[in-house]
Amino acid sequence: MIKQLRLRSRMMLIGLWAIALLCVGPLSSVSAAQAAEGTSITINDKTVSIKEALLIEDGKLLVPASKISGLLKAQYKWNKDTEEATIHNSFGDTIVIGNEVPVVYFNDERYVLEQAPFMHKGNLYVALRELAEMLHGSLEWNGDTNTANITIVPYAVVTQDNSLADISKEQGVAQARLLARNGLEGSSDVKENAKLRVVIPSIMTNKATPFTDADLRLLANISQIEAGRTSYEGQLGVANVILNRVKDSRFPDTIKGVVYSGKQFPPAHNGMLDRSTPNASALQAAKDALNGKNNVKNALYFFNPKVTKGAFWSNLDVIVTIGNHTFAR
């Protein structure tokens, strides 16, 4: 009887875990990625060998992007300097994914991922469902075998007997979305024998907040001046303090407004900021911050405790120290 109860409890736990793996919304929050033991991946119903660990976090199955990209015939290139992966799939799409950056560039458009990618044992891990969709595949979960099956979806070819309307109906996708997915403005642009991409990645319903080139350069400039020319982490922290202020009602609601108001940023008032040119590290830090990478949480201030003293600063809640700067709220 005891053995039966233990077996039943174990099966219930496995079932709940399997359901959580690929659900649209996570059933529970996991503080850190864990190994997805007993899980396998198939492509077009054929089991594939993946030596790297499969992980689960926040109810999502996470996989090494380079491995899955290769299995789906996509070209994967890693830039160790920017910590970004550029993927060219076999359907003409370009995907740029950054370490701990929740925004992905998909054909030069910016979208928010449900799960920010991260590094694990030298590999960039990405949520399998979102990655499969961007590589023009569909994903199904088999709870009985704990298997994720990716099906590579071919182009839909327009013919006299297979019009845009026919393809739209067959795929269950609105014609307007098919046109947008293929960079077409109207149905008149769809010619006979045209090959249409029909997988609409779910990320395309969640566009990222836009920013201007002027915002990027200003944020990079002030971050470089304040954090030094060599510390990416420090520059990223400064950039996020500014962006945190933009979101806080006690401060101006634009990057320019925050930088040029008050006394926090003297270079904005002595001409140094206007004469400065951001380096590659500062530009990357500003770009990553604007795309959601945050290493100082909700900090609103940064200061050097050896230089800046007083009751106000000592009463702040310290979040993290990077180099000579303390980041606090």
What CATH number should be reported for the domain holding residue 125?
A: 3.30.457.10
Mean pLDDT of the chain: 91
Kindly state whether residues 268 and 181 are assigned to the same domain.
no
Q: What was the pLDDT predicted at 207?
A: 98
Task: Evaluate if residue 218 carries a pLDDT over 50.
Answer: yes
The C-alpha R_g of the chain, in whole angstroms, comes to 24
CA dihedral 63, 65, 68, 74 (to 10 degrees): 160
Q: What was the pLDDT predicted at 54?
A: 97
Number of domains making up the chain:
3
Helices (H), 172-309: 175-181, 213-227, 232-247, 255-260, 272-275, 280-290
Amino acid at 320: V
Q: What was the pLDDT predicted at 300?
A: 98
Kindly state whether residues 198 and 231 are assigned to the same domain.
no
Identify the bridge partners of residue 61 per DSSP, sorted by sequence position: 56
Kindly state whether residues 24 and 143 are assigned to the same domain.
yes
Kindly state whether residues 200 and 230 are assigned to the same domain.
no
Q: What was the pLDDT predicted at 9?
A: 44
Kindly state whether residues 324 and 267 are assigned to the same domain.
yes
Q: What was the pLDDT predicted at 41?
A: 98
pTM (2 decimals)? 0.87
pLDDT tens digits for 114-133?
Answer: 999 999 999 999 999 999 99
Give the residue among 200, 173, 197 at the shortest CA–CA distance from 92: 197
Q: State the residue range of the domain holding 173.
A: 154-205
pLDDT tens digits for 27-57?
Answer: 233 347 899 999 999 999 999 999 999 999 9
Task: Evaluate if residue 90 carries a pLDDT over 50.
Answer: yes
Go through 291-320 and write b for each residue having 16 or more CB atoms within 10 A of its CB, e for each that does not: bbbbbbeebbbbbeeeeeeeeeeeeeeebe
Kindly state whether residues 24 and 136 are assigned to the same domain.
yes
Which range (29-38, 295-304, 311-320) has the least confidence? 29-38
Amino acid at 139: L
* Structure token pair of residue 16: 């709940």
Task: Evaluate if residue 2 carries a pLDDT over 70.
Answer: no
Task: Evaluate if residue 22 carries a pLDDT over 70.
Answer: no
Kindly state whether residues 62 and 99 are assigned to the same domain.
yes
Q: What was the pLDDT predicted at 249?
A: 97
Kindly state whether residues 45 and 60 are assigned to the same domain.
yes
Reported confidence tier of residue 59, pLDDT bands at 50, 70, 90: confident
Distances (CA, A) of 3 to 10, 12, 13, 17, 164: 10, 14, 15, 21, 58
